[in-house]
Chain A
Amino acid sequence: MAYLAIVLRRVVQAIGLLAAVAILNFTLIHLAPGDIVSTIVGEMGGASEETIAELRRAYGVDRSYLEQLGIYLGRVAGGDLGTSIYYNKPVFSLILDRVPATVLLLLAALTMALVVGTALGVLAARYPRGWFAAVVNLISLFGFSAPVFWSGLMLLLLFASVIPILPPGGFYDVVAGAKGLAKALDIAHHLVLPATTLALIFLALYSRLARASMIEVLGSDYVRTARAKGLPERAVIFKHALRNALLPVVTVAGLQFSAMLAGAVLVETVFTWPGLGQLAFDSILRRDNQLILGILLLSAVLVTFGNLITDILYRIVDPRIKTDG
Chain B
Amino acid sequence: MNRDHPAPLYNLPTNLGGFAVRVLFLLMAACFATAVNAQSVLVWGTTQVPRHFNPAVQSGIATMMPGAQIFASPLRFDEKWQPQPYLAESWSFQDDGKSLLLKLVPNAKFHDGRPITSEDVAFSILVAKQNHPFQSMLAAVERVETPDARIAIVRLSQPHPAILLALTSPFVPVLPKHIYGDGVDPKVHPRNTNPVGSGAYRFAEYKAGEHLILEKNKDYFLPGRPHFDRVIFRYFKDANALSLAIERREIHFTPFWGELAMIPRFEKTPGVAVTQKGGEAIGPINWLAINTRKKPFDDVRVRKAIAYAIDRDFIVKKLHGGRTQAALGPIAPASPFYNPAVEPYKVDIAKANRLLDEAGLKAGAGGVRHALTVDFIPGNREMHQNIAEYLKPQLKKVGFDVTVRAAPDFPTWAKRVGGHEFDLTTDSVFNWGDPVIGVHRTYLSSNIRPGVIWSNTQSYSNAKVDELLPKAGVERDATKRKGLYQEFQKIVVDEAPIVFLNLLPYYTIYDATLKNLPLTIWGACAPMDEMRR
Q: Which residues of A contact B (CB under 8 A)?
A: 32-36, 38-52, 55, 58, 86-89, 94, 97, 126-130, 153, 156-157, 160-161, 164-165, 167-171, 173-179, 181-182, 185-186, 188-189, 218, 227, 233-234, 237, 268-272, 274, 278-279, 281-282, 284-285, 287
In contact, B209 and A282 (Cβ under 8 angstroms): yes
For B3, list chain A residues within 8 Å (CB): 218
In contact, A44 and B210 (Cβ under 8 angstroms): no
In contact, B453 and A38 (Cβ under 8 angstroms): yes
Surface stretch bound by A, among B28-36, B387-395, B486-494: B28-36
Q: Which residue in A43, A48, A164, A182 is a CB contact (below 8 Å) of B62?
A: A43
For A153, list chain B residues within 8 Å (CB): 240
Q: Which residues of B contact A (CB under 8 A)?
A: 1, 3-4, 6-7, 9-10, 24, 27-28, 30-36, 41, 43, 49, 51-52, 58-60, 62-63, 131, 133-135, 185, 187-188, 190, 192-193, 207-211, 213, 232, 234-238, 240-242, 244-245, 247-248, 250, 409-412, 414-416, 418, 429-430, 432, 438, 441, 449, 451-455
In contact, A175 and B6 (Cβ under 8 angstroms): no
Cα A34 to Cα B411 with chains together (Å): 4
B400 CB, min distance to chain A CBs, angstroms: 26
Top 6 nearest A-B pairs by Cβ distance? A34-B411, A46-B454, A47-B133, A38-B411, A168-B244, A169-B241
From A50, which residue of chain B is reached at the shortest CB distance?
B135
In contact, A168 and B59 (Cβ under 8 angstroms): no
Cα A274 to Cα B49 with chains together (Å): 13
In contact, B28 and A189 (Cβ under 8 angstroms): yes
In contact, B35 and A32 (Cβ under 8 angstroms): no
Cα A256 to Cα B49 with chains together (Å): 33
From B58, which residue of chain A is reached at the shortest CB distance?
A44
Q: Which residue in B31, B418, B441 is a CB contact (below 8 Å) of A186?
A: B31
Cα A292 to Cα B131 with chains together (Å): 27
For B41, list chain A residues within 8 Å (CB): 175
Cα A173 to Cα B210 with chains together (Å): 11
In contact, B232 and A174 (Cβ under 8 angstroms): yes
Q: Which residue in A130, A156, A176 is a CB contact (below 8 Å) of B4?
A: A130
Can you report 7 residue pairs joining A to B where beta carbons are below 8 Å apart? Answer: A45-B60, A88-B52, A89-B208, A176-B32, A182-B33, A182-B34, A285-B409
In contact, A46 and B58 (Cβ under 8 angstroms): no
In contact, A42 and B414 (Cβ under 8 angstroms): yes
In contact, B245 and A173 (Cβ under 8 angstroms): no
In contact, B35 and A175 (Cβ under 8 angstroms): yes
In contact, A58 and B210 (Cβ under 8 angstroms): no
In contact, A233 and B7 (Cβ under 8 angstroms): yes
In contact, B455 and A129 (Cβ under 8 angstroms): no
In contact, B133 and A176 (Cβ under 8 angstroms): no
A240 CB, min distance to chain B CBs, angstroms: 14
**Among B190, B241, B250, B418: residue with most chain A CB under 10 A:** B241
Contacts A34-B415, A169-B245, A177-B36 aside, 13 further interface pairs with beta carbons under 8 A come to: A43-B63, A45-B432, A49-B451, A49-B455, A51-B131, A86-B51, A89-B208, A165-B24, A174-B213, A175-B250, A176-B32, A182-B34, A270-B240
A203 CB, min distance to chain B CBs, angstroms: 19
For B241, list chain A residues within 8 Å (CB): 156, 168-169, 270-272
In contact, A38 and B28 (Cβ under 8 angstroms): no
Cα A279 to Cα B237 with chains together (Å): 11
In contact, B210 and A39 (Cβ under 8 angstroms): no
In contact, B411 and A35 (Cβ under 8 angstroms): yes
In contact, A188 and B27 (Cβ under 8 angstroms): yes
From B52, which residue of chain A is reached at the shortest CB distance?
A88
**Among B31, B51, B60, B234: residue with most chain A CB under 10 A:** B31
In contact, B453 and A41 (Cβ under 8 angstroms): yes
In contact, B411 and A44 (Cβ under 8 angstroms): no
Cα A97 to Cα B206 with chains together (Å): 13
In contact, B31 and A173 (Cβ under 8 angstroms): yes
Cα A284 to Cα B410 with chains together (Å): 11
In contact, A34 and B209 (Cβ under 8 angstroms): no
Cα A288 to Cα B452 with chains together (Å): 19
For B34, list chain A residues within 8 Å (CB): 176-179, 182
For B35, list chain A residues within 8 Å (CB): 173, 175-176
For B244, list chain A residues within 8 Å (CB): 156-157, 160-161, 168-169
From B49, which residue of chain A is reached at the shortest CB distance?
A282
B55 CB, min distance to chain A CBs, angstroms: 10
B233 CB, min distance to chain A CBs, angstroms: 9
A158 CB, min distance to chain B CBs, angstroms: 11
Cα A153 to Cα B237 with chains together (Å): 13
B389 CB, min distance to chain A CBs, angstroms: 22
For B248, list chain A residues within 8 Å (CB): 160-161, 164, 168
In contact, B455 and A185 (Cβ under 8 angstroms): no
In contact, B451 and A175 (Cβ under 8 angstroms): no
B11 CB, min distance to chain A CBs, angstroms: 11
Cα A188 to Cα B26 with chains together (Å): 13
In contact, A34 and B452 (Cβ under 8 angstroms): no
For B27, list chain A residues within 8 Å (CB): 185, 188-189
B417 CB, min distance to chain A CBs, angstroms: 10
From B8, which residue of chain A is reached at the shortest CB distance?
A233
B284 CB, min distance to chain A CBs, angstroms: 10
In contact, B31 and A43 (Cβ under 8 angstroms): no
B242 CB, min distance to chain A CBs, angstroms: 8
Cα A94 to Cα B208 with chains together (Å): 9
From B7, which residue of chain A is reached at the shortest CB distance?
A233
In contact, A176 and B415 (Cβ under 8 angstroms): no
In contact, A34 and B234 (Cβ under 8 angstroms): no
From A164, which residue of chain B is reached at the shortest CB distance?
B248
B72 CB, min distance to chain A CBs, angstroms: 22
From B410, which residue of chain A is reached at the shortest CB distance?
A42
A201 CB, min distance to chain B CBs, angstroms: 19
For A189, list chain B residues within 8 Å (CB): 27-28, 31
A176 with B238: in contact, given A87-B208, A169-B245 (CB under 8 Å)? no
In contact, A87 and B51 (Cβ under 8 angstroms): yes
In contact, B232 and A175 (Cβ under 8 angstroms): yes
Cα A55 to Cα B185 with chains together (Å): 11
From B378, which residue of chain A is reached at the shortest CB distance?
A285
Cα A50 to Cα B27 with chains together (Å): 57
For A274, list chain B residues within 8 Å (CB): 207, 209-210
For B49, list chain A residues within 8 Å (CB): 282
